[in-house]
Structure 1
Amino acid sequence: MGAAVAACARPNAARVLWCPAGRSPATAARAEQAGLEPVADLGDLVEQAHVIVSLCPPAAAERLAHDVAERQYAGIYVEANAISPERMARIAELLGSSARAVVDGAVIGSPPINGKRTRLYLSGPSAAVSVLERLFVGSAVATPVLGDEVGRASALKLAYSSYQKASRVLAAVAFGAARAHGVDDALLDVAGARQGSYLLETGYIAKTAARAWRWGPEMDEAADMVSGVGLPEELLRAVSQTLARWEGSKGLAELTPDEALDQLARP
C-alpha cells in the first residue's frame, strides 16, 4: 500500500522519497517499481521531506512517529495507519512541538494499482489537509476530508475494519467448524441463498491467514477504540486472539484454504 500510494503522488510532487534502511528486498523492489527515490537513512528523509506519510503496520506506528519526532521534523506528518484515536492523539502531541502540522489519515480500499482506486480520508488542520489534497489531485487516491479534528479519520478506519476483518475471521471459523463435521458443502449451499455472504468466499480464508500478523494488532487498536467509548471490547479481543493462531503464515501466498483451516484448528 505504501509504495502504491506514494507513486500516486509523483505527478504532483517534486520528489517522492523513501527510506530503505531495515526494509526487505521485496519492499525495495516495490519502491523501485513505483519510481521512489531512496535516501540513506531516516535522518535524511526527515531533513528533506516537506510531507511524510506514515504507512506501516499499526504496531510500529507510534515507534516510527517517536523516531521522527526525535529528529525534530518540521514538515507535515500524516499518520495514516490503522490506529486508535487515542494513539493518534498521542502521536499528534509527540510531533506537535516541531512539526508544521500533524494530519490524521485513513486508507480504505485496495492498493491503487492496475486501475484500482483507494481513498485516503483526512482530518486535521485545514491548511495542511489542503496540501495533501493537492498532492493527490488527479490520481487514483481520493482524499475525502472529515473535518479539522484529529482522530476522526482513525475512528472511521477502525470502525470499518473492525466489522470487515472480524467478519472474515468469523466466516473462517464457521467454515472450519462445518468442515470438521463434514457439512461444509451444505454450508456453502445455505450461504448461496444470501447475496454477498463472506461464507462463499472460501479462497479468502488463506488471504486472511497470510495477513493475520498485521490484522491482529489492528483489531487490538479497534478494541481500544470501542472500549474508550463504553462499548464492549471482548469480541474484537477474541478476533485478535484468533488471528494469532495464524502468526506463522505471514505473507504465504501459496497457502491453501485447507492448510489455513488446519492451522486455525490447532491451539
Structure 2
Amino acid sequence: MDQPTVGILHPGSMGAAVAACAATNAAAVLWCENERSTASVERADRFGLTAVATLAELLDRSDIVISLCPPAAAEDLACDVAGHRFAGVYVEANAINPERAQRIAALLEPDATVVDGGVVGSPPVRGKSPTLYLSGPAVAIERIEALFAGTVVQTAVLGTEIGKASALKLAYASFQKTSRVLVALAMGMAREYGVDQELIEVASRRTDSYLSEPQYVAKTAARAWRWGPELEEAADTLAAAGLPPEMLRAAASTLARWNDAKDDGSLTLTDALDRLAQP
C-alpha cells in the first residue's frame, strides 16, 4: 500500500509529537497554519511538519486526518471538517466523552470513516512511549496501526464500537489527574500548618503514592488549562453512566485556579501552591 498523506489538527505538544511519529510511515504530514499561534509554527517546524495555508487544502491532500486539540474545540473542528466533505479516515483522538465521539462520527459519516482514539501517556519525546487506543471499523484501524508501526507510539485495538477508546482515556484520566489535584490540596493544607516537609517524609515511605512526588504539582498547574476540561468530559461520562460526577467537577474547578499558568515551565512548587491559595 502506498504511504498515506496525513493531516494533523493541530500541532500542540501532543499533536506535533504524535504527527512526527506518523511521518515515519507517511508520504507527508500536513498542518494548517491559518490562525495558529507563533508557538504552533515553531513547534511544527521543530517536528518537521509541512505547512499548508487552509483547512481545505489539508483535507484535499490528506488520506488520514488526526484530530488532537483541546476537548472543547473537538466538535467545532469536526463540523469544519464535515463542511468540506472529507472522505478519508478521521481519527478523533481528543479527550472527549463517548457520546461526543459518537456525535462526531455521525457528523462525518458516511463521507469519512471515523476511528475513535485515545492517547494514554506523555507526548512521544525524550524516550516516552504513549499508547494510542483505537476503536472503530477494522479496516480503518489497520491503516492507523500501519501508520505508527515501528514508532514509539504504541497502538492497541479495543474493538469496533466508537466510544470505547474515549471511555478508556477518560476513565484513566479521571484517576490520574484527580490524584494530582489531591496532592496539591494535601500539600497546600500541610504548608498552611507548617508540616509540609513532614508530609513529604511520610509520603516518601510509600513510593507508589503520587503524594511522594510533590514536585509534580508545578507541572499539574502548568497543564491545568488542558486537564480541567478533560475532567469535565470525564464527569459527563460518569453522569451518563449513573455515577456521581461531583468529585471530578470539583477537581476541574480546583484546576481552574491555575488557568493563568498555562504551559509555564518555570513554576516551582511554592509558586503553584501560592496560586492555588489565591482564588
Shorter-chain TM-score tier: over 0.9
Q: 2:243 aligned with 1:234, yes or no?
A: no
1:78 aligned residue: 91
Out of 164, 172, 179, the residue aligned to residue 160 of structure 1 is 172
C-alpha contact (below 8 Å) 2:200/2:214 kept by paired residues: no
Cα offset for 1:77? 0.4
Cα offset for 1:11? 2.1
Matches of 2:46 and 2:228 in 1, distance apart?
A: 29
Q: 2:182 aligned with 1:182, yes or no?
A: no
1:50 aligned residue: 63
Please identify, of 76-85 and 4-13, the stretch whose mean Cα deviation from structure 2 is larger. Answer: 4-13
Q: 2:111 aligned with 1:98, yes or no?
A: yes
Cα offset for 1:20? 1.4
The code of the aligned residue for 1:97 comes to P
Q: 2:137 aligned with 1:147, yes or no?
A: no
Describe the SS at the equivalent of 1:143.
strand
- TM-score normalized with structure 2 length: 0.93
Describe the SS at the equivalent of 1:35.
coil
Out of 92, 110, 124, the residue aligned to residue 122 of structure 2 is 110
Q: 2:218 aligned with 1:206, yes or no?
A: yes
1:67 aligned residue: 80
Q: 2:24 aligned with 1:15, yes or no?
A: no
The code of the aligned residue for 1:73 comes to F
2:10 aligned residue: none
Identity %: 59
Q: 2:148 aligned with 1:129, yes or no?
A: no
Cα offset for 1:200? 2.0
Q: 2:265 aligned with 1:253, yes or no?
A: yes
Cα offset for 1:86? 0.7
Matches of 2:184 and 2:258 in 1, distance apart?
A: 12
Please identify, of 160-169 and 3-12, the stretch whose mean Cα deviation from structure 2 is larger. Answer: 3-12
Out of 83, 101, 104, the residue aligned to residue 88 of structure 1 is 101
The code of the aligned residue for 1:30 comes to R
Gaps of 5+ in 2: 1-13
2:8 aligned residue: none
- TM-score normalized with structure 1 length: 0.97
The code of the aligned residue for 2:29 comes to V
Structure 1, residues 74-112: CA drift from partner, whole Å, max 9, x if none?
A: 11100001000011011011101321x100000111111
Please identify, of 50-59 and 22-31, the stretch whose mean Cα deviation from structure 2 is larger. Answer: 22-31
Q: 2:39 aligned with 1:26, yes or no?
A: yes
The code of the aligned residue for 1:210 comes to A
Matches of 2:204 and 2:27 in 1, distance apart?
A: 51
The code of the aligned residue for 2:133 comes to Y
The code of the aligned residue for 1:206 comes to A
